[in-house]
A = this chain, B = another copy of it.
C-alpha cells in the first residue's frame, strides 16, 4: 500500500529531475513534437497529400530517425541518410538497367544474387574502423534503400518515379530536421564538448584540493565518507570516464558548420587529444587518492611538517587547473610563464622545506658513496643540483622562453626534468616511505600538468583564442 503511494512520487521526481538536470531536454522533446506535427501535415492537409501521396511516410520515418539532440548528430545522420539513399538509388538503377533485357526467372536470380552480394559487401564494409566511426548509418541506409528499390522493381513498373518521390519526401524530412536542429534553439555538440572540457578541469581541481585537505587534516572521524561516492572520487571519475563521450561529441562537432572569425576548421580533434592528456594527468590524481585510502599512512608528525609546502604545491596545481578552465571556457589565451613560475616556485618551496629538516633527512655518507660514481655520470648535466637555486634556474628558464617562444619546445622539454630533478634528488632519506610516495606523486603531477598546459596552449593556438585584455587581468 505504501509502495503504491511512493511509486508515483518517485516517478514524478524522476521526470522533474531529468528536465531540471538539463532543460534543453524539454526543448528538444518539444522540437521533436513540432517536427512530427509539421511532417504529419503531409498527410493531413489535402493539397500536400496530393503532391506526395503514400510516400509521405518516408518523411515521417526520416524525422523520427534523424532528428537528434545536437545539431552535429542530426547533420551527421541527415547527410549520411541523404548520401546513402542517393548512392543506393544510383546503384539500384544501374542494376535495373543491367537486368532489363533478361527473362523473368533470370531476372529474379540476378536480383537475388545482387542482393546477396551488396548485403555481404556493405556489412563487411561496416567493420572498417574509419567507416564505422563516420559513415555507419550511411551504409545501413544505403543497404536498406538499395534492397527496397531493387526488390520492388521486380513488381512495380515505374521504379524511377517511385524512387524520385521517395527522394523528395526524404529531402522534406531532412529539411524539417535541419530546420529544427540548426535554427530553432540549436544544441551544438561542439559547445557541449567545449564546456565539458572546461568542467573537467574544474572537477580535477576540486578533486586534488579535496585530496590534499583530507591528507593534512584530522580525518579519523570521516574515514567512511571517503568512499566511492565522495566528491574527490566524482571529480576524477568524470575525467577518466570521458573518453567515449569526448570522441562522440568531437565526431559530431566536426559535422557542424561553425561561424569562426578566422575561417578555419575548428580543431575538435585537439579536444580529444587534450582529453587523453588530461586522463593521463588524472591517473596521478587516482594514485594520490590511493595514498589517502591506503591503510598504511605516514606518521602525522611528518605530514604536519610538510603540510604548508605540500598544500602550496597542490593549491598551485589546482589554481593552474582553474586558470586553464577559465582560459578554455572564455576562449582566451593565458600566460604560460606566469602559471609555470608559480608552480615551480611552490615546488622549490617543498624542496627547501624538505632540506630544512635535517632531523628527518640524514645525509648518509656510506650509502651515497656506493652510488656516487654512476649517479654522477647519469646526471652530469645537473651536477650540484642544490646549488642551482630558484634564481639562476628560473632566470635561465625564463630567458629561454622569451628569446624564442615558438621553437624552444625541445629545450623546454630538456629543461623541465632539470627543474623537477631539483626537487627529487634532494629528497633522499625520508623518514617515511608513504610520505615519499605522496611527495613523488605531487612532483609527478606537476610534471604531467606541464603536458596539459602545453596541450591547452596548442588548443589555444589552433582555435585562435583571443589575447587576454586588461579586463581579463583584473579578474
Binding site for B on A (CB under 8 A): 14-15, 18-19, 22, 25-26, 28-30, 32-37, 40-45, 49, 54, 56-57, 60-61, 64-65, 108, 111-112, 115-117, 119-121, 123-124, 127-128, 140, 143-144, 147-148, 150-152, 154-155, 240-241, 243-244, 280, 283-284, 286-287, 290, 294-297, 299-302, 359-360, 362, 364, 366-368, 370-371, 374-375, 378, 416-417, 420-421, 424-425, 427-434, 436-437, 439-441, 443-444, 447
Q: Of residues A124, A148, A300, A360, which shows the largest number of chain B Cβ atoms within 10 Å of its Cβ?
A: A124
| CA gap between A379 and B365 in the complex, in Å | 31
A-B contact pairs, 9 of them (CB 8 A): A14-B128, A15-B124, A22-B127, A26-B124, A28-B123, A32-B119, A44-B151, A283-B283, A300-B371
Q: Which residue of B lies closest to A441 (CB)?
A: B437
Contact in complex: A296, B362 (CB < 8 Å): no
Contacting A296 at CB < 8 Å: which of B128, B374, B424? B424
Contact in complex: A440, B447 (CB < 8 Å): no
Known A44-B151, A296-B425: A36·B244 in contact at CB below 8 Å: no
Contact in complex: A297, B378 (CB < 8 Å): yes
| CA gap between A210 and B440 in the complex, in Å | 22
| CA gap between A403 and B44 in the complex, in Å | 77
Contacting A25 at CB < 8 Å: which of B44, B124, B444? B124
Contacts of A244 in B (CB 8 A): 243-244
Contacts of A439 in B (CB 8 A): 433
Contacting A362 at CB < 8 Å: which of B54, B243, B367? B367
| CA gap between A355 and B241 in the complex, in Å | 41
Contacting A18 at CB < 8 Å: which of B127, B152, B370, B437? B127
A91 to chain B, nearest CB (A): 14
Known A29-B120, A32-B120: A152·B43 in contact at CB below 8 Å: yes
A341 to chain B, nearest CB (A): 20
A451 to chain B, nearest CB (A): 11
Contacts of A42 in B (CB 8 A): 151
Contacting A371 at CB < 8 Å: which of B296, B302, B428? B302
Since A26-B124, A44-B112, A360-B370 are in contact, a sample of 20 more A-B pairs with Cβ atoms closer than 8 Å, ordered by chain A residue number, is A25-B127, A29-B120, A29-B123, A30-B120, A33-B117, A33-B123, A36-B143, A43-B154, A57-B152, A65-B144, A240-B240, A287-B287, A296-B424, A297-B378, A301-B375, A360-B367, A364-B431, A429-B430, A429-B431, A437-B441
Contacts of A57 in B (CB 8 A): 148, 151-152
A113 to chain B, nearest CB (A): 8
A270 to chain B, nearest CB (A): 17
Contacting A121 at CB < 8 Å: which of B29, B151, B294, B431? B29
